[in-house]
A and B are shown apart, each in its own frame.
Chain A
């Protein structure tokens, strides 16, 4: 038990935590865009799976990681268009369409994997880039400044998303549409257009979340690679109160618990691995119970918009 608290292990846990936060951040920030506009997209996990597979497969075939990322973004966009079509244009129940999208993604990624690849193989993923000078600081350097590009990008996404939502005309439209679509509509803002945009942007980020998993974190693909990570990302949006900074806190909390759990297994700490794997999920439930901030919730969340009601 003592070795768990040695400096080296703590550094290791924290380094992993930063790395593991990457897919959470991409997916949850993306979901925050969709939800801010009033659409709950429960299909995140499915989009991540397809994104993860496509990125993996393109890398396997071409070795070109940039092409892989682009492909993952593209399938994210396509699945986002599908989700928007069902929930915005056809006004279907959002929760059900999201679950449908998830199952579709789960099935499609497994099928393609079996058809095109068959066995688990590893690929050469994104290399660690050590930031000059900063990366040499003892401990700090290892924890924060020796990561691959997707990890840096995920953390950079947080301030960019904040800026976008709080400081731009588009962010204002997204929030208004999520809070009072009739008001936005009465000022000539196209509610449907804004929702399509937000859902698609979120889905592209979900695709990238999947790609980060298969090309930067584990460098492989297997069936149901995400193991429900996308659903935790949805929960993180509630946890973070629809704010990128809140999501960052939540993502780090979860990734730290996850990293801790992994290291416990590595070090052979005597605790059932099932219990260890349950930890982050238990935390999800606990966090949601204590942290939901109903006040900030977009008032039109989950409500299709139709003009012409008094």
Chain B
């Protein structure tokens, strides 16, 4: 591959001026202006559907603006396709990864580039160059590995290498941290810092304000397709940003513990195999009471996902039992579990929770379409369903032109909200919620948290699995920390510090740290 000599011509400044972009029924960008300079991180904030991805997709040549101009170092540019944007020195890491799982890392990187031995591929050279880049930017990855074998964090590193390999000097990162563990986020930030030192300009999109304040130099806020303002990151407070984004204040929740009921969900001695053939759950014991939220914390890959899947009935356990209100549901099917009063919010909501080609309304009624209030005999009562859809769209502030819009046209966060709405609209006895606010904006996160607390107040036993430690600490009455397929310890609200929980996540039991502290 002819590797562009690392940044042959570095972009000093990219400007987007008065960008207008319309979709049927939506004005996604309304005269938006931003600028990015070499060596700085511009954070782009905004609620779900504010138009962040759309704006960046125009800079990357995936969409053509309906109005406005893109300038690179003062020169007007017209990008007909990503090929043009790449040639101009722009790179993009997409909200949903753009990798070919059946190909190797090196093949994914080499895709679409000229080879030094055209028409033959030159993968050895590509691999060597990948390793150089990995070294220079702290992006550990094996060029010979197949992408389907990689963890999410590794896949993201491949995406960054793809952009760097093409000599991108301005790199857009669309919600890169949404799927990362806190440790992986730290690693990513180290890489991003190195990139700005090398003179790259970065656009960083995230819904997590503490990340935005930690990494960015300037912050621009979009609302409903319009630029609300842009300011230096220094001195900005969380409350300022929330006000700009949502237009009102959003205060952190401080729920009070409730009188808990009897054990609702009882798990004992649960064992199960993981996807890679090793034992993922190695004897999990946990009891969740009615009116209680138990949060499961842990570095991803320590069995949390498998635990959720076992409880939902999507994965066979090899030993142990699961009881719901005293009834053994270990062998029960998905449907029987639902009938017994269990609800499940899957982690991979795009894949397991929604049908892309279906409309908002159809997705909302995937499960409850046969419920008596939405049917007339054997016919569906579309009027009722439409009314309910409008209600949900309003309650969860889902940005969609209407109930009949196919969800593939919704922004990432709005699809998440829709599925949350569907699952939270019932009153289950037990609820398993995996990463319920991943990719969701602040306002909607608040709403979802309130709904979870409301369900708790109504007597639901909730198992909350999340990689967001703040979320766990805010909502959970008790926190169970998972390590290598077991629960290494359970602490009550306020019983342990963030640091202690962090140590537990690394496999050090609470007693040990306490003993050390007192010694």
Contact = CB atoms under 8 A, between A and B. Distances in A.
Interface string A186-210: 1111100000000000000000000
A237 interface: no
Contacts of B63: 308
A169 B113 contact: yes
Q: Give 4 closest A-B pairs by Cβ, nearest first.
A: A188-B83, A183-B98, A187-B112, A189-B112
Interface residues of A, number: 26
A188 B102 contact: no
A3 interface: no
Interface stretch (B116-124, B192-200, B454-462): B116-124
Interface stretch (B379-387, B408-416, B445-453, B492-500): B408-416
Interface stretch (B103-111, B181-189, B223-231, B298-306): B103-111
A172 B119 CA distance: 11
Contact of B408 (A184, A185, A307, A309): A309
A180 interface: yes
Nearest to B415: A310
B100 A176 contact: yes
A179 interface: yes
B150 interface: no
Given A167-B121, A176-B103, A310 B111 contact: no
A279 B249 CA distance: 75
Contacts of A173: 111-112
Interface of A: 167-173, 175-176, 179-180, 182-190, 296, 299, 307-310
Contact of B98 (A167, A186, A296, A299): A186
Interface stretch (B89-97, B261-269, B468-476): B89-97
B105 to A, nearest CB: 13
Given A308-B62, A308-B63, A169 B99 contact: no
Contacts of A182: 98
Nearest to B412: A310
Given A180-B100, A183-B98, A310-B410, A172 B111 contact: yes
A169 B116 CA distance: 10
Interface of A is mostly: helix
Given A167-B120, A172-B121, A183-B99, A310 B53 contact: yes
Interface of B is mostly: loop
Range class of the B interface residue count: 35 or more
Nearest to A298: B102
A296 B108 CA distance: 17
Nearest to B357: A309
Given A172-B121, A173-B112, A180 B107 contact: no
Most buried by B among A176, A183, A190, A308: A183
B121 A186 contact: no
A186 B411 contact: no
A172 B103 contact: yes
Given A172-B103, A183-B100, A186-B82, A310 B95 contact: yes
B162 interface: yes
B121 A187 contact: no
Contacts of B108: 176, 183
B100 A188 contact: no
Contacts of B81: 185, 188, 190
A263 B99 CA distance: 51
B101 A179 contact: yes
B103 A179 contact: yes
18 contacts: A167-B121, A169-B113, A172-B103, A172-B110, A172-B121, A176-B107, A176-B111, A180-B101, A182-B98, A183-B108, A184-B112, A187-B162, A188-B84, A189-B83, A189-B111, A299-B102, A309-B356, A310-B409
Contact of A175 (B87, B100, B166, B415): B100
Contacts of B112: 173, 176, 184, 187-189
